[in-house]
């Protein structure tokens, strides 16, 4: 499978659909490739699909997704202006954290997905996405709230890590950090 041959996001999705190298595919019901606009300037990456996502075949459609949508709406963004995916494309059994092997198996597809979308801004939701994309073991609390860069096909993409909405459902007091981060995103996209 030559991932570089995927010339569009639709072709890449078809490739992911026929990929047998990630064990999660065997236990999941559906492939959750992406949600949103394939021409969006803002790309968000979460951790892994959960039960609702597995049922619908789309990322972030459950409670965490609804919170995410409300947070994005608060900075004026609707689904038409964003594109969302995850570090892995299938639900881990019982919603466990995806293993490093599962994340690694999906990583080349995710890298190509970013390259094809070529967003102005990349938002990493939670530690798993930050670790996979930035290749760092630094905790999310230290990474969040500052502009980082992701190198992709000769471009530096402005990248911001923030708290995962599922974490915010458990720790609503920490929404203030995510709010600050989202205001940084708003400011950045208003610059162009």
What does the binding site for ligand URA look like in residue numbers (CB under 6 A)? 46-50, 53, 59-60, 62, 64-65, 86, 166
- Residue 60 or 109: the one with the smaller Cβ distance to ligand URA is 60
What's the sign of the alpha-carbon dihedral 181, 67, 80, 42?
positive
- Residue 86 or 162: the one with the smaller Cβ distance to ligand URA is 86
Taking every pair of Cα atoms in the chain, the longest distance, rounded to a whole number of angstroms, is 45
What's the sign of the alpha-carbon dihedral 54, 55, 60, 62?
negative
DSSP 16: H
**Alpha helices per DSSP H over 28-173:** 51-56, 63-74, 100-117, 127-134, 140-143, 165-170
The CB-of-137 to ligand URA minimum distance in angstroms stands at 19
The CB-of-49 to ligand URA minimum distance in angstroms stands at 5
Question: Cα(29)–Cα(153) distance, rounded to whole angstroms?
Answer: 33
- Residue 158 or 166: the one with the smaller Cβ distance to ligand URA is 166
- Residue 56 or 188: the one with the smaller Cβ distance to ligand URA is 56
- Residue 3 or 55: the one with the smaller Cβ distance to ligand URA is 55
| Residues recorded for the chain | 192
The answer to whether 125 and 160 have CB atoms below 8 angstroms apart is: no
Contacting residues for 170 by C-beta, under 8 A, at least 6 apart: none
């Amino acid at each position: 499978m030559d991932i570089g041959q995927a010339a569009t996001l639709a072709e890449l999705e078809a490739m992911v659909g026929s990929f047998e190298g990630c064990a999660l595919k065997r236990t999941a019901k559906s492939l959750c490739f992406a949600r949103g606009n394939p021409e969006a300037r803002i790309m968000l990456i979460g951790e892994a699909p959960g039960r609702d996502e597995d049922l619908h075949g789309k990322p972030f459609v459950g409670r965490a997704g609804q919170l995410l949508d409300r947070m994005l709406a608060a900075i004026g963004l609707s689904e038409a202006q964003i594109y969302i995916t995850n570090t892995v494309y299938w639900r881990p059994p019982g919603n466990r954290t995806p293993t490093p092997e599962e994340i690694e198996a999906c990583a080349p597809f995710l890298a190509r997905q970013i390259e094809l979308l070529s967003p102005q801004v990349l938002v990493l939701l939670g530690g798993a996405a930050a670790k996979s994309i930035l290749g760092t073991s630094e905790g999310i609390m230290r990474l969040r709230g500052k502009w980082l860069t992701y190198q992709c096909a000769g471009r530096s993409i402005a990248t911001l890590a923030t708290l995962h909405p599922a974490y915010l459902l458990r720790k609503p007091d920490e929404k203030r950090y995510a709010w600050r981060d989202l205001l940084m995103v708003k400011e950045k996209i208003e610059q162009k």
